[in-house]
Structure 1
Amino acid sequence: MTDWTLVTGANRGLGLEFVRQQLADGASVVATCRHPGKATALNQLAAEHPGHLKVLPLDVGDTRSRDELVREWPMAAGEDARIGLLINNAGVLHSGERFGTLSADVLDDSLRINVTGPLLLTQALAPLLADGARVANLSSQLGSIANTGRFGTPSYAISKAAQNMATVQLAHALRARGIVVVALHPGWVQTDMGGAGASEVPEASVAGLRRVIAGLRDADSGRFLDFNGKALPW
C-alpha cells in the first residue's frame, strides 16, 4: 500500500512546487486548494499524472471544508490509503499593516488560516496519518520572537509564532505513533507572497525542504528548522 502526500494551498507558489517535485519522484499526491476549478496548473499536472494526483477543494480555515476533505479522502485515495507526508502550506499574509490602524478582522483572519486551520486539519486527519508519517508546517523566520528586530507584518508574525507552538503541541500529541511534526522556514522565496525581489526560487527552496523532511528523525519532532536544516530560535 502506497502512502500519499497531502499538500494544502497547492494551486501556486511553494505548494504547487511541492506537488511537482513529489510527482517527479513517483509519489501519489492529494493537492488541495480553495477553488480547484481555477487551479489551471494543478489540473494540467493531474492530466499528466493520471491516478497519481487528485485535486480536492479545501478552505483550511473552514470547519465544514476540513470535515468534507476527511469524508472525501477514501473516494479520492482509496479506503485503506494513508498519508505519509502532510504539508501544511496554505497561509495568508496581509500586507500594509501599520501600528495605530491594526484591525481585529485582519488579526483574526491570520490566526484562523495560519494557526487554527493547520492545527485542526492535522487533528482531523490524524486517523489517516500513517504511523511514522511526517507533518511539515510551513512557518517563517518572521515567527521567531528572538529574531524580531523591527515592527512589521504583525498579524503574520504573530500567527507564525503561534503556529510554531501548535507544531510543538502536535509533536507531543502524535509522538507515540512515531509521527514527526516540524515547523519549516522556506527562506524568502519568489512567490506571490514573497515577491519578485526575494532571494530564493521555489524550486531550490522546496528541494531543500524535501531534503530536510527526508532526513528527519524521531528526535527532530517539534523543532523549528530552515530549508537548509539549520535550527532557528523560537
Structure 2
Amino acid sequence: MSVAIVTGANRGLGLELVQQLLQRDWRVIAGCRKTDVLRMTELAGAHPGHLHVMPLDVSSERSIAAFVNEAQMVTRTLDLLVNNAGVLIAGERYGEVAAKSLAQSFAVNASGALLLTQACSELLRAAGSARVANISTVMASLALTDTFRTPSYAMSKAALNMATRLLAAELAPHGIVVTSFHPGWVQTDMGGSQAPLAIADAVTRLLERILRMDAADAGRFIGSDEDQELPW
C-alpha cells in the first residue's frame, strides 16, 4: 500500500489532498499545527488504519524531528511527500513590510519544506521510487512579476522553488523526483471566495498530475494547466 505525508493537512488544499488520497486507498500521514478533531475522526473512521494525524510545525526543527520519528513508527517507506504547509501575510504594502512577516514566511514556506524533505530522506529512499511535490505559486515566478504584491509570500515561495531545484539535483540519483506545482487560484481561506477554482476540482487535477510525476519532471515548475511550464 502506498504511503503519503501531507503537511498543512487541517484545511484547504491539504485537507482535500488527504481526503482524495484516502479515496484512492493510500495510507496518509497528515501533519498539521491545528487539527479539526471532528473532521479527522470522521475520516479515520471511514478509512480505518489508513489515516494517521500527527502534530507538525514545519517552522520548528524540533517539531520536524519529532514528527519524522513518529512517522518512522508508522511506516518504513514513503512514496509521496506533499510540502503543502504555507502562510500568506495579507495586506502587505510597500513601506509597511515587517521583518517578522518575512522571517515567518521563509520559515514556513521555504525552509520548512527543505528541512522536512531532508529529514524524510531515509523513508523516501526506502520506497525505491518516490515523489516530493512542493506546492508553490505563480506569484513566485520572477519572470511574471511586475507589481508589488504579497512580498513575503512571493519571495518565500520563490525560495521554495530554489529548494525544489536543489533537492531535485540531490535526490534524483536515489530515484526521488522533486517538483514545484502551482495549483491555480483556489477557493481556500488563502485564495478567497472570489477565486475561480473550487478546492475539490483543483486538487483532483493537481493530484492526478502529481501521481504522474516521473524522472523528466525533476526540478520543474508546473502550472495548473496540463503540463504548463511556468517560468522561474
Report if TM-score (shorter chain) is over 0.5: yes
Q: Which residue of 2 aligns with 1:174?
A: 171
Q: State whether residues 225 and 231 of structure 1, in contact with CA within 8 Å, keep that contact through their aligned partners in structure 2.
A: yes
Q: State whether residues 72 and 123 of structure 2, in contact with CA within 8 Å, keep that contact through their aligned partners in structure 1.
A: no
Name the amino acid aligned to 1:42.
Answer: M
Give the C-alpha shift of residue 44 in structure 1: 1.7
The answer for unaligned runs of 5 or more in structure 1 is none
What are the superposed Cα offsets for residues 204-229 of structure 1, whole Å, 9 maximum, x if unpaired?
11111112112222021000001332
Q: Which residue of 2 aligns with 1:47?
A: 45
RMSD: 1.1
* Equivalent position to 1:58, from 56, 59, 73: 56
Name the amino acid aligned to 2:111.
Answer: T
Give the C-alpha shift of residue 156 in structure 1: 0.3
User: What is the alpha-carbon distance in structure 2 between the residues aligned to residue 28 and residue 128 of structure 1?
Assistant: 14
Q: Which residue of 1 aligns with 2:69?
A: 71
The answer for unaligned runs of 5 or more in structure 2 is none
- Residue 94 (1) aligns with residue 89 (2): yes
Q: State whether residues 83 and 134 of structure 2, in contact with CA within 8 Å, keep that contact through their aligned partners in structure 1.
A: yes
* Equivalent position to 1:117, from 112, 117, 139: 112
- Structure 1 outlier segments of 4+, above 3 Å: none
- Residue 128 (1) aligns with residue 123 (2): yes
- Residue 147 (1) aligns with residue 137 (2): no
Q: Which residue of 2 aligns with 1:24?
A: 23
Give the C-alpha shift of residue 39 in structure 1: 3.8
Provide the TM-score with structure 1 as the length reference.
Answer: 0.95
**Which range is displaced more, 42-51 or 7-16?**
42-51
User: What is the alpha-carbon distance in structure 1 between the residues aligned to residue 37 and residue 195 of structure 2?
Assistant: 24
Name the amino acid aligned to 1:216.
Answer: M
Q: Which residue of 2 aligns with 1:188?
A: 185
Q: State whether residues 137 and 181 of structure 2, in contact with CA within 8 Å, keep that contact through their aligned partners in structure 1.
A: yes
Name the amino acid aligned to 2:212.
Answer: G
User: What is the alpha-carbon distance in structure 1 between the residues aligned to residue 40 and residue 193 of structure 2?
Assistant: 22
Q: Secondary structure at the match of 2:79?
A: strand
Equivalent pairs, count: 229
Give the C-alpha shift of residue 53 in structure 1: 0.5
**1:170 to 1:27, Cα distance in 2 relative to 1, 3 A:** same
User: What is the alpha-carbon distance in structure 2 between the residues aligned to residue 215 and residue 73 of structure 1?
Assistant: 25
User: What is the alpha-carbon distance in structure 2 between the residues aligned to residue 210 and residue 73 of structure 1?
Assistant: 22
User: What is the alpha-carbon distance in structure 1 between the residues aligned to residue 166 and residue 40 of structure 2?
Assistant: 32
Identical residues among aligned pairs (%): 50
- Residue 137 (1) aligns with residue 103 (2): no
Q: State whether residues 212 and 227 of structure 1, in contact with CA within 8 Å, keep that contact through their aligned partners in structure 2.
A: no
Q: State whether residues 7 and 29 of structure 1, in contact with CA within 8 Å, keep that contact through their aligned partners in structure 2.
A: yes
Provide the TM-score with structure 2 as the length reference.
Answer: 0.96
Give the C-alpha shift of residue 149 in structure 1: 1.9
